[in-house]
Amino acid sequence: MKNYIKHDPWKIIEEGFRPEYNEISESLFSLGNGRFGLRGNFEETFTGKTLQGSYLAGVYYPDKTKVGWWKNGYPEYFAKVLNAANWIGIRVEIDNHELDLNTCKVSNFIRILNMKEGYLSRSFTAEFSDGKQVQVETKRLCSIVEEYIGTIQFSIKPLNFSGEISLTPFIDFDVVNKDSNYDEKFWEEKNKGNDNNIGWVTAVTKKTKFVATSGMIYEIFKGDTPIDSIIDHQEKEKYIGHRITLNAEEGQAITLNKYCCNLTSLNYSEENIVENCMQYLNKAKEKGYDKILSDQAEAWEKKWAESDIQIEGDVAAQQGIRFNIFHLYQTYTGTDERLNIGPKGFTGEKYGGSTYWDTEAYCLPFYLATSEEKVGRQLLVYRYKHLQKAIENAEKLGFSRGAALYPMVTMNGEECHNEWEITFEEIHRNGAIAYGIFDYIRYTGDKNYLAEYGLEVLLGISRFWSQRITFSTHKNKYVMLGVTGPNEYENNVDNNWYTNYIATWCLKYTLESLDWVKTNFSEKYTEFSNKTNFAEAEETERWRDIISNMYYPKSEELGIFLQQDNYLDKEQIMAKDIPEDQIPIWQNWSWDRILRSCFIKQGDVLQGMYFFEDHFDRETIRKNYDFYEPRTVHESSLSPCIHAVIASKIGDKKRAYQFYLRTSRLDLDDYNNDTEDGLHITSMAGSWLAVVKGFGGMRVSNGQVSFAPFIPENWTGYAFKIRFRGSILKIEVKENKVYISNESDKQVDILLYNKNYAIKANETIKAEAIPGDALA
């Protein structure tokens, strides 16, 4: 765990240059706007430890699967989110010495991610080997107003000399992916060009043939005075640069404002993409850097007004939640149904940057409560559009009759994960897709979604479960063999409780949905049946038999559900007894040792308790929590948040806070020693869940939202807002009082501590707070 980021409620601050942590910082200081993004790399040359990364939403490469032993059913490729053009680059030379913080003496270094206004700044003093000193200040952003524009302001001031300074702003598409399976470069040049102070490079991906154009235009100032200069246009493969040499005076700053545009063939035709890029660039320069910066601040002010969580008395907790909300909004905007939420967003390459079940299980609730309804709906439509691919995925594994297996990892609906225990066995992901439909409808009341899209998805998933589940004559029960649950420190197990439970729940929910659509949309139901060749009597009869006779492993003696068959045969050692120098175990133990241990990477049984808490009484939840939590090492970023919600539910306030702090500061403090690969974007939604569903006790049932808030001991108060069915509610918890304000023009009926309240339009109610332990 690192602790070098300064605590601040609105900023991420690194004071002092720490080259050994630079890749971690590059992740933390990433920027994005839903269309493109980049890691916190330096604009100038840096020859030290770095992971250069710039990413374009929806652009990927099918890197050929690399395995030692090919198995039938393996995906042919692993989808890489490609490192795209380095568009921030500005090479700096002073009397033929290149500015490079790896070789210069660095002092007064500070970089700040201003989350309130949406930009990254950096300043430092650099001393060259000949004693010359310069002061550099930079500021950049990815505009959330002009969604294809990024801007950089780079200012350099000689401190103890006058002389020549050369600046070379450039666009470089000759980039590599660190995770390339065969050290292959994935971009080929299509065209490039220079015209005075404007330049561009257009490149095309191998195989997938995505076309991307990255362009730049710039202006230069001495002090506040704009200057013209002689430009040395430079070109090489996939690269253009403009070298400008200026006479610099001691104490006078030279400032370069660089405007960049990134377009892809997802949204622009190949024939016009360069012309469109030039139009955006000229518009940005005409608008001006200061106006783009102020528009950015105004746009972020509006976002924060709707979604900020305010925490009193705990700066570390406050910084953590805002950091996570900031990156969630930078990653996904909901404006394009072809896009989704990659686990690393625009902050790194690991996991291929593709879509996982994390979206439905963790991210969907955040977007439902903080954005317009259509944003959450887009995430469901994304899966509907991939239904045919999910059916094809199942066919590759031998399933038939329209059974659908949604991929563990995907860019376009095809499975593209190349580890057998994930691809073939971690099939619980299908349950999360169905749960997402249920969760969306429960929250929004948009039940028509079933008739429009949802029922087809549910049918495909239920057909898969029906075929994947087999009957054991030995047990005289239905069983599910050879699976991997959410706890990936177990592979190829039989009767994973969570997978068995969510599979039968899917069958029940599909039956309920069939009845509703048949009753309310009879014509659509007939159309649906014909389209899917649905043999209603035959198929539903088997589903009902499975529901009635499914096997669930449990221990009557301990009063718990067993994670899988034979879990208690493992040596039962507590996580607290692992030697500290062996943590995290995934970096220190062999895989064989991990698989033989009882240790749990993330909640497995407890994931089911979280999804379906209303199916179990509080004592059952408590017993399972008390048994499994001490065996959980939380080496999945998705683990602490679920434990925070459950701990809140059963009154374990101290542990709930600890889990919240871990999930909210997972990357800021590098808990799992892996932030250098990129941030854990999808788990960031978990920190929101920990506050709103955990401490705030928010639930939705029977069309009504309810709350049961308490204050963690480390805090003096907190507040958050949610959207709910056309209304906006603000919940404030202070000392022994709860205030709920209806910031909309219609009455809202809520439950607070199981008591009904009708809050009139634009009014506030006040109630006595109940301590968390009393709630349990």
Residue 420, helix vs strand vs coil: helix
What is the spatial order of strands in the sheet that 310-312 belongs to? 310-312, 717-724, 727-734, 737-742, 764-768
Rounded Cα–Cα distance for residues 368 and 538 (Å): 37
Burial 66-79 (b: 16+ CB within 10 A, else e): eeeeeeeebbebbb
Q: Could you tell me which residues are beta bridge partners of residue 758?
A: 749
Q: Which amino acid is it at 477?
A: K
Nearest one of 421, 438, 424, 577 to 487, comparing CA atoms = 421
Structure tokens at 538: 């035959």
Angle at the Cα of 160 (from 154 to 166), degrees rounded to 5?
Answer: 40
Catalytic residue among 14, 146, 419, 488: 488
Query: What are the start-end ranges of the H helices in 34-168?
Result: none
User: Are 82 and 186 a contacting pair, CB within 8 Å?
Assistant: yes
Token pair 């563990």 is found at 408
Q: Which amino acid is it at 543?
A: W
Q: CA–CA distance from 92 to each of 99, 160, 465 (Å)?
A: 5, 17, 60
Residue 539, helix vs strand vs coil: helix
Residue 709 exposed, middle or buried by CB count within 10 Å (0-12, 13-18, 19+): buried
Q: Is 488 among the residues known to form the active site?
A: yes
Residue 641, helix vs strand vs coil: helix
Token pair 């879990």 is found at 567
Q: DSSP class of residue 709?
A: -
Structure tokens at 40: 């916190």
Q: DSSP class of residue 1?
A: -
Residue 236, helix vs strand vs coil: strand
User: Are 493 and 483 a contacting pair, CB within 8 Å?
Assistant: yes
Burial 17-51 (b: 16+ CB within 10 A, else e): beeebbbbbbbbbbbbbbbbbbbbbbbbbbeeebb
Residue 615, helix vs strand vs coil: helix
Q: According to the 3-state scheme, what is the secondary structure of 297-360?
A: HHHHHHHHHHHCCEEECCHHHHHHHHHHHHHHHHHCCCCCCCCCCCCCCCCCCHHHHCECCHHH
Instruction: Output phi, psi for 210, to 5 deg.
Output: -70, 135
Query: How many residues does the structure list for the chain?
Result: 776
Which residues 6+ apart lie within 8 Å of 763 measured at CB?
741, 742
User: Are 218 and 259 a contacting pair, CB within 8 Å?
Assistant: yes
Nearest one of 655, 736, 649, 657 to 697, comparing CA atoms = 649
Q: How, if at all, do strands 704-707 and 748-752 pair?
A: parallel
Please measure the distance between the N-terminal and C-terminal CA atoms of the chain and give it in whole angstroms.
32
Rounded Cα–Cα distance for residues 447 and 432 (Å): 18
Report CA torsion sign: 647, 649, 652, 653. Answer: positive
Nearest one of 59, 91, 56, 106 to 258, comparing CA atoms = 91
The torsion defined by the Cα of 369, 375, 380 and 382, in degrees rounded to 10, comes to: -150
- Residues with catalytic roles: 488
